[in-house]
Structure 1
Amino acid sequence: MIIRVVRMTFKEEALNEFLQIFEKSKERIRSFSGCQHLQLLEDAHASNVYATYSIWESETALNRYRHSELFGQVWPETKQLFAAPPVAHSYLQKIKLD
C-alpha cells in the first residue's frame, strides 16, 4: 500500500478554480483502479495551501494513474494555478492501525 501526499500552493486568485477542478474530478480519481482513498486537506495556517492525501494499493497502481488520460487532463489544469512548485511524498504503510 502506498500513501501519497501532494502539497500544493496556489495563487490566491486561483483557489476557486482549483476547487472546481477537484470537485469535478474527485469521484473519477476515487474510482480509478487501485485508488483506495482520496481526500483534500487545507493547510491550518495558509488558506492557499492544500494537500491531496491518497491511498493506492501499490506503487504500480499509483503510476498507472499518473500515466493515465485522467491524470493528463487534471494535472495540467491544476499546475497552471500554482504559486510555487508542488511537493509530493510517497509512504509505505507498514503497520495497519485499525
Structure 2
Amino acid sequence: MFVRIVKMSFHQKYIPDFLAMFEEKKQSIKNREGCEFLELYQDKNNPEIFFTYSHWRHVDDLEAYRNSDLFKDVWKQTKAMFNDKPYAWSVDKLVSLS
C-alpha cells in the first residue's frame, strides 16, 4: 500500500463548484479497484488550498484510475478551476500510530 497526496489551489469563486463535484464523484473514486481510503482536506490558513489523501493497494491500481474515463472527466473539470499548478506525491507509509 502507498499514499497519494495531491495539493490543489482553486480560484475562490470555484470552490463551491469543486466541493460539489468532489461530493458527487468521491464514492466512484473510492470504489475504484485498489483504492482503500480517500479524504479531502482544506488548508486552515489559505482556504483556496486543498489536498486529497488516498491509499492505494498498488501503483498499477492508481495508474488504472488515472487512465480511466472517470479520472479524465474529474481532472478536466478540476484543472479548469485551478489558480496555481497542482502538486502530487506518492509516498510509502513508514509508521502508523493507529
TM-score, L = length of structure 1 = 0.95
Whether 1:18 and 2:18 are equivalent positions in the alignment is yes
Which digits, 9 at most, give the CA deviation of each residue in 1:1-44, with x for residues without a partner? 11000000000111011001101000000111100000000001
Q: Which runs of 5+ in 1 are unaligned?
A: none
Query: What's the RMSD between the two structures over aligned residues?
Result: 1.0
- Counterpart in the other structure of 2:76: 76
Deviation above 6 Å: which 4+ runs of structure 1?
none
- Partner-residue secondary structure (3-state), 2:7: strand
- For residues 76 and 15 of structure 1, the distance between their equivalents in structure 2, rounded to whole angstroms, comes to 15
Partners of 1:87 and 1:58 in 2: how far apart? Answer: 20
Equivalenced residues, count = 98
Query: Percent identical across equivalent pairs?
Result: 36
| TM-score where L is the length of structure 2 | 0.95
User: Aligned to 1:4, what secondary structure does the other structure show?
Assistant: strand
